[in-house]
């Protein structure tokens, strides 16, 4: 039980969005060690979707709160300065869902062909061709290059340190073109059809830059992994990546184990007692690097082992991560 009386989620500030003041208060109490990370239980989903409604990255916001410890009005000002004024539609929708008055799942899109759905059922991933225009992809690449001070055609600039680079991830969350890519009708509708629901929220996720390996610079990972607890059964969930440039199989391509969503339960069940599934040779399960073109979007089932790969080509890989999920998305309490 908490000994601290937290602000009710219904109390709002000048942005008029529920749960924000409580989220801010919890974050500062965690910073001070006065409440533990996983309490109050059951609120993590509301915390995450709150960030998505505001157009903020989770890590971006956590770092700001822990480094700055702002007052609440200062936090609200930072939100507007960082991600712009949240849309009235997002505020109203979040407040409705928080009160249990979610959207009705009407008119679920039917954009995927029977052939695509058959491939999905067998392999657990799909390539959506031309989900974003080549022009918008090139603009996004230029934004990434400007952000981390590299030049697309000058290899000598690719390896210099920048505070926004974390391995192959780039902590860049907000830009009108990046947001435009997230709002691709093809991407959203594919997520809606596979989820079989339309009450989905788009994450404010990062972009990626994976340059070719050199003697001095080696691929830092992540190699094949899961972003979900391996507590069985693995719940349905989706992830996705947008290729911003043509990406060959050896160019750091997304790598998955096709079809593993259909056999993960039996594979885990057959492991000897005490064996950590995450430490097994996942490539031995049949890993496959996915080559695709600029503007193509790859969506996959979260039960697939997946990861980037070493870039042994002569060109860097540029990507953007885009995911849609509902507020009621199930996440196991125990991380295995």
pLDDT digit string, tens, across residues 286-311 = 999 999 999 999 999 999 999 999 99
Tokens of 242: 């947008």
pLDDT at 3: 59
**59 has a pLDDT exceeding 70:** yes
* 3-state SS, one letter per residue, for 19-38: CHHHHHHHHHHHHCCCCCCC
Do residues 320 and 244 touch, judged by C-beta distance below 8 A?
A: yes
**152 has a pLDDT exceeding 90:** yes
CA 199, 306, 222, 271 torsion: positive or negative?
Answer: positive
pLDDT in tens, 123-151: 999 999 999 999 999 999 999 999 999 99
pLDDT at 63: 95
**265 has a pLDDT exceeding 60:** yes
Burial of 335: CB neighbours in 10 Å, binned 0-12, 13-18, 19+: exposed
Q: Other C-beta atoms within 10 Å of 113: how many?
A: 9
- Give the residue from 245, 253, 238 showing the smallest Cα distance to 307: 253
The more confident residue out of 61 and 101 is 61
pLDDT at 328: 84
Name the one residue in this structure whose structure tokens are 């492991």. 271
pLDDT band of 1, cuts 50, 70, 90: very low
For 114-326, which CATH class?
Answer: mainly beta
pLDDT band of 314, cuts 50, 70, 90: very high
Mean pLDDT of 255-273: 96
pLDDT at 289: 98
* 3-state SS, one letter per residue, for the chain: CCCCCCCCCCCCCCCCCCCHHHHHHHHHHHHCCCCCCCCCCCCHHHHHHHHHHHCCCHHHHHHHHHHHCCCHHHHHHHHHHHHCCCCHHHHHHHHHHHCCCCCCCCCCCCCCCHHHHHHHHHHCEEEECCCCCHHHHHHHHHHHHHHHCCCCCCHHHCCCCCCCEECCEECCCCCHHHHHHHCCHHHHHHHHHHHCCCCEEECCCCEEEECCCCCCCCCCCCCCECCCCCCCCCCCCEEEEEECCCECCCECCCEECCCHHHCHHHHHHCCCCCCCHHHCCHHHHCCEECCECCCCEEEEECCCCEECCCECCCCCEEEEECCEEECCCCCCCCCC
**246 has a pLDDT exceeding 70:** yes
pLDDT at 5: 81
- Give the residue from 204, 228, 194 showing the smallest Cα distance to 331: 228
As a whole number, the mean pLDDT across the chain is 94
Q: Tell how strand 200-202 and strand 306-307 pair up.
A: unpaired
Find the length of the chain: 336
pLDDT in tens, 197-227: 999 999 999 999 999 999 999 999 999 999 9
Mean pLDDT of 1-15: 82
Mean pLDDT of 29-45: 79
Angle between helices 88-98 and 44-54 (to 10 degrees): 170
- Taking the domains of the chain in order of start, what are their residue ranges? 20-98, 114-326
pLDDT at 220: 96
- Which pTM does this prediction carry? 0.94
Do residues 88 and 11 touch, judged by C-beta distance below 8 A?
A: no
**329 has a pLDDT exceeding 90:** no
pLDDT at 99: 82
How far is the C-alpha of 259 from the C-alpha of 243, rounded, in Å? Answer: 22
């Amino acid at each position: 039980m908490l000994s601290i009386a937290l602000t009710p989620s219904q109390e709002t500030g000048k942005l008029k969005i529920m749960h924000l003041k409580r989220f801010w208060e919890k974050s500062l109490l965690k910073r001070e060690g006065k409440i533990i990370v996983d309490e109050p239980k059951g609120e993590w989903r509301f915390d995450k979707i709150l960030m998505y409604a505001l157009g903020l990255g989770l890590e971006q916001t956590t770092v700001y709160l822990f480094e700055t410890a702002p007052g609440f009005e200062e936090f609200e000002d930072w939100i507007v300065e960082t991600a712009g004024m949240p849309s009235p539609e997002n505020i109203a929708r979040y407040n409705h869902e928080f009160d249990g008055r979610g959207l009705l799942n009407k008119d679920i899109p039917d954009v995927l062909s029977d052939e695509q759905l058959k491939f999905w059922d067998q392999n657990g991933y799909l390539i959506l061709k031309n989900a974003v225009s080549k022009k918008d992809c090139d603009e996004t690449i230029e934004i990434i290059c400007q952000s981390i001070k590299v030049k697309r055609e000058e290899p000598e600039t690719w390896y210099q340190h920048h505070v926004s680079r974390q391995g192959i991830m780039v902590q860049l969350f907000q830009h009108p073109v990046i947001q435009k890519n997230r709002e691709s009708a093809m991407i959203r509708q594919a997520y809606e059809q596979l989820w079989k629901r339309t009450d989905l929220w788009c994450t404010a996720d990062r972009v990626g830059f994976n340059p070719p390996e050199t003697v001095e610079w080696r691929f830092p990972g992540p190699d094949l992994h899961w972003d979900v607890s391996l507590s069985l059964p693995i719940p349905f969930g989706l992830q996705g990546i947008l290729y911003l440039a043509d990406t060959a199989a050896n160019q750091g391509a997304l790598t998955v184990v096709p079809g593993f969503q259909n056999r993960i339960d039996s594979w885990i069940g057959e492991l000897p007692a005490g064996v950590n599934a995450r430490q097994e040779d996942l490539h031995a399960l049949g890993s496959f690097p996915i080559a695709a073109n600029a503007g193509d979007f790859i969506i996959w089932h979260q039960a697939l082992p997946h990861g980037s790969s070493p870039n042994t080509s002569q060109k860097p890989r540029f990507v953007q991560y885009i995911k849609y999920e509902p507020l009621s998305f199930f996440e196991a309490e125990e991380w295995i």
